Amino acid sequence: MGKKFTVIFYDEDRKTILEQQEIQEGMEVKYKGKLPEKPAENGISYRFVGWETEGNLDKVIKDIEVFAKYQIDSKMNKEQTDSMQDLAEQNAESANLNEVMEARAKS
């Protein structure tokens, strides 16, 4: 009988365990739980796009940690897109103001 390895599926925070499996050496591992979800933040919604790992899930030969990956949902409505654009512009203006203030302080 071959070795068994532990495969742990984590959420994006790399702390929350979604599922843990003991897999026979050389066997394939598949996530059996409910697909992870990331709650919306500041009006931005996310969708699960897959798993990030350094191991081979098709043929397990060592203990593996697997992490959920999300991306911003491209189905944002116009209001959300405009809000993000406004925030980016405010950040740029703030950065420019900081540069002006620093330049005045040096002179």
- The CATH number for 1-75, chosen from 3.40.50.1580, 2.40.430.10, 2.60.40.4270, 2.40.160.20, is 2.60.40.4270
DSSP H or E segment with residue 66:
strand 64-72
Q: How is the chain split into domains, by residue range?
A: 1-75, 77-107
Query: Which has more confidence, 18 or 42?
Result: 18
pLDDT at 102: 65
- What is the pTM assigned to this prediction? 0.66
pLDDT one-digit tens code per residue, 22-60:
999 999 999 999 999 999 888 889 999 999 998 999 999
Distance CA 42, CA 37 (A): 16
pLDDT one-digit tens code per residue, 59-101:
999 999 999 999 998 665 556 556 666 666 776 666 655 565 5
pLDDT at 93: 67
**Residue 11 binned pLDDT confidence (cut-offs 50, 70, 90):** very high
Q: List, as one string, the DSSP characters of 32-65.
A: -SPPP----BTTB-EEEEEEEESS-SSS--S-EE
